[in-house]
Amino acid sequence: MKIHRSAPVVDGITIPTATLLDERLSFVARGLLCELLTRPDDWEANADEMSRRARDARGLVTGEGRQAMRAAFAELESHGYLVRRRKRYANGRFVTTLELYDTPGHALPDVVPTKKSLKPTPRGEVLYRHWDENGLLLYVGVTNRATSRERAHAKVSPWMEFWVETTYEQHPSRASVEAAEAAAILDEQPLFNVAGNDDPEAPRRLRRYLAERNRLDLLLPKVPA
């Protein structure tokens, strides 16, 4: 984690008063920000690790749980105190790093990624697959408006952070494409189709994938540990 401070560290840290009194943040988020700002630049932190530290220090009852800590991290990110940056190395691997600021407003611009596909976007009923940089299947879905559906996913779907390619499979009818979707979820095990997958290992695979990328905050509450 890289920390950007508005004042140099000489004998202890200085946190701007406006930051301490930022009423847009909950008291939990403000306390978390102060805790993180006391750490050195190379100190690694994520919501689940901070929750474990809180519960180790104060017990299961009074220590903040994972969801509370993830919400606090999300607050810091939404107000620009915390920024996630992704870097792609020459071997194609992506690494996510955290950057922390003691002032708000440092969020990355809202950039919608450029869609990549093996073929032009088709019309009609299509089954689409989203893949990551390593060719791992992230998500399978159906639509009859492929372009607008891709734009919607780019804005709100968590797996789009890891997406680099979309492939399409055209079908003659809605019934046909929905049957193909169900079969693909069962046979191909896309990571983020957890809700439609009866395999008990599916949530665990998703958790491992996100843990490797330091993005456990993207987990849905129903995904078991």
pTM, 2 dp: 0.50
Q: How far is it, in rounded angstroms, from Cα 148 to Cα 156?
A: 13
Q: What is the mean pLDDT of residues 85-106?
A: 73
If one compares 11 and 201, the residue with the highest pLDDT of the two is 201
Q: What is the DSSP letter of 181?
A: H
What is the distance in angstroms between the CA of the first residue and the CA of the last residue of the chain?
25
Nearest to 84 by CA among 218, 204, 207, 209: 218
Give all domains of the chain, ordered by start, each with its CATH number. 2-101 (1.10.10), 126-216 (3.40.1440)
> Would the pLDDT of 1 be above 90?
no
> Would the pLDDT of 11 be above 80?
no
Transcribe 31-72 into DSSP letters. Answer: HHHHHHHTS-TT----HHHHHHHHHHHHHHHHS--HHHHHHH
The residue whose two tokens read 């129903």 is 222
User: What band does 225 get if pLDDT is binned at 50, 70 and 90?
Assistant: very low
User: What band does 93 get if pLDDT is binned at 50, 70 and 90?
Assistant: low
If one compares 84 and 142, the residue with the highest pLDDT of the two is 142
Q: How far is it, in rounded angstroms, from Cα 160 to Cα 170?
A: 22
Residue 141, classified by CB atoms within 10 Å of its CB into exposed (0-12), middle (13-18) or buried (19+), is buried
> Would the pLDDT of 32 be above 90?
yes
If one compares 80 and 194, the residue with the highest pLDDT of the two is 80
